[in-house]
């Protein structure tokens, strides 16, 4: 890899394991009409069929157009009668898993690099992600110099505007900044923004550590 001084990480599929199939299967078990293709496909969320209502709803959450309460009520209306908020949260948050070793890596990386999060994420998953990290002893503020979350910014990857804003507000030089994502369109936009963009397959970060961060392997 080229020399870099800063790192932008994606969250789901990179730092946190993302299992979309598990969440959609759980929603189907709650009585929600979920197409079979969403239960068999474990692609990044942005790569899933945009025509599906649940995908549209999640993308609107990522943009901050829909917040947690509206999401829960919209899903509840499509589930069997008596479905509880707790069941919905358990199904949706079951999409993400937090490998503690990756959080520990972030703290170590911060001894050498400026480390940032750049994530398409809604407030519901962001709240869950922060709680999970905190319970593992690695609060987000210890892992990142700053977190750029799409729901707070009102724009989501792969829109070039989110990259431009993150670069501007962080003050980094793109040519000195590694960006890691598991979705090809995001990586392409990152490259166009001048970042040292690097694509990995979902949930495989450990396999790339020796190449990207050999001193931390």
pLDDT in tens, 126-169: 999 999 999 999 999 999 999 999 999 999 999 999 999 999 99
Average pLDDT of the segment spanning 27-51: 90
Contact (CB, 8 A) for 98 and 135 = no
Query: How many other β-carbons are positioned within 10 Å of the β-carbon of residue 40?
Result: 10
Instruction: Give the CATH superfamily of 6-17+97-216.
Output: HAD superfamily/HAD-like (3.40.50.1000)
- Name the 3-class secondary structure at 102: helix
> Which pLDDT score is estimated for 210?
95
Span 99-110, pLDDT tens digits: 999 999 999 999
**Segments making up each domain of the chain, as ranges:** 6-17+97-216, 19-93
Position 92 pLDDT exceeds 70:
yes
Query: Model confidence at 7, in pLDDT bands (50, 70, 90)?
Result: very high
Position 1 pLDDT exceeds 70:
no
pTM value?
0.96
CATH number of 19-93: 1.10.150
Taking CA atoms, 153 is separated from 103, 127, 137, 149, 212, in Å, by 24, 16, 27, 6, 28
Half-sphere exposure of 112 (CA within 13 A, CB side): 13
């Amino acid at each position: 890899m080229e020399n870099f001084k800063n790192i932008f990480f994606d969250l789901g599929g990179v730092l946190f394991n993302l299992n979309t199939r598990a969440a959609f299967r759980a929603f189907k078990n709650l009585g929600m009409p979920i197409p079979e293709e969403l239960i068999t496909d474990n692609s990044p969320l942005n790569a899933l069929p945009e025509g599906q209502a649940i995908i549209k709803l999640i993308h609107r959450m990522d943009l901050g157009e829909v917040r947690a309460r509206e999401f829960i009520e919209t899903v509840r209306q499509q589930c069997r009668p008596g479905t509880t908020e707790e069941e919905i949260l358990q199904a949706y948050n079951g999409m993400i898993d937090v490998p503690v070793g990756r959080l520990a890596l972030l703290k170590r990386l911060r001894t050498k690099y400026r480390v940032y999060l750049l994530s398409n994420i809604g407030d519901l998953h962001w709240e869950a992600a922060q709680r999970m990290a905190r319970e593992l002893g690695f609060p987000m503020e210890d892992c990142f110099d700053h977190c750029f979350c799409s729901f707070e910014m009102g724009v989501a990857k792969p829109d070039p505007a989110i990259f431009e804003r993150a670069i501007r507000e962080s003050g980094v030089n793109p040519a000195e900044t590694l960006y890691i994502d598991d979705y090809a369109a995001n990586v392409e936009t990152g490259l166009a923004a001048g970042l040292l963009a690097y694509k990995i397959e979902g949930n495989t970060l450990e396999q790339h550590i020796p190449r990207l961060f050999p001193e931390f392997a």
